[in-house]
């Protein structure tokens, strides 16, 4: 487990284990998309700011262990990545827009890590759920590669498997623990690195 996150989590699990998740009213029409970009607290917070996104759920995917726990995943032995499942209204935001937003909130230049978190459980990935998503994801990566912005892009594009929701105390962590969340995000270097990678783009 990352030391910084471990210190922040100490004592929080018991405090928030019994809190209910924020209820969200389902949209008349909705779809889902699954992304991994390091710490799921941060990915959840970022995607919930995007217009057209209905709800975001933190969880684990891409591994081989049934119903893994945070402790198992954080040790790096299950093959899972910390990920988010984004539920969105396709009439308000397209999958292409989600892809573009995803790229600009991660560091695609590193393998098996994001910012201060190292290990395959923190890899960046797009988990496509059908042929259309696969084609759009591959196309978005190719556009970024052809731009020459980065020497190499390590973000994986792989078929989605079972998505296991994370424990309740991880859901909406940035809302439940704003001070601890901000401390983690800043000290992990996420804000500074994203700014240096994407500051000249909209």
* Residues assigned a catalytic role: 39
CA angle (182 as vertex; 180, 184 as ends), nearest 5: 70
CA angle (17 as vertex; 32, 82 as ends), nearest 5: 40
User: What gap in Å lies between CA 32 and CA 54, rounded to an integer?
Assistant: 10
Closest by CA position to 40, among listed 70, 11, 19, 10: 70
Q: Which residue has the tokens 């928030």?
A: 16
CA angle (105 as vertex; 103, 111 as ends), nearest 5: 70
Please state at what angle helix 95-103 crosses helix 131-147, rounded to 10 degrees: 40
- Dihedral, CA atoms, 135, 37, 168, 53, nearest 10 degrees? -50
């Amino acid at each position: 487990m990352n030391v910084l996150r471990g210190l922040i989590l100490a004592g929080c699990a018991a405090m928030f284990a019994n809190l209910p998740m924020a209820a969200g009213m389902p949209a008349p029409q909705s779809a889902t998309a699954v992304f991994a970009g390091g710490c799921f607290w941060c990915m959840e917070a970022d995607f919930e700011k995007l217009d057209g996104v209905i709800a975001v759920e933190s969880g684990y995917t891409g591994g081989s262990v049934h119903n893994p726990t945070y402790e198992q995943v954080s040790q790096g032995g299950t093959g899972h990545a910390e990920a988010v499942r984004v539920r969105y209204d396709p009439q308000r935001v397209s999958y292409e827009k989600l892809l573009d937003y995803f790229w600009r909130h991660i560091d695609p230049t590193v393998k098996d890590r994001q910012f201060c978190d190292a290990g395959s459980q923190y890899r960046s990935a797009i988990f496509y759920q059908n042929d259309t998503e696969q084609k759009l994801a591959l196309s978005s990566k190719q556009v970024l590669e052809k731009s020459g912005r980065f020497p190499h892009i390590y973000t994986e594009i792989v078929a989605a498997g079972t998505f296991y929701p994370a424990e309740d105390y991880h859901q909406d962590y940035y809302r439940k623990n704003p001070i601890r969340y901000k401390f983690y995000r800043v000290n992990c270097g996420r804000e500074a690195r994203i700014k240096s990678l994407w500051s000249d783009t909209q």
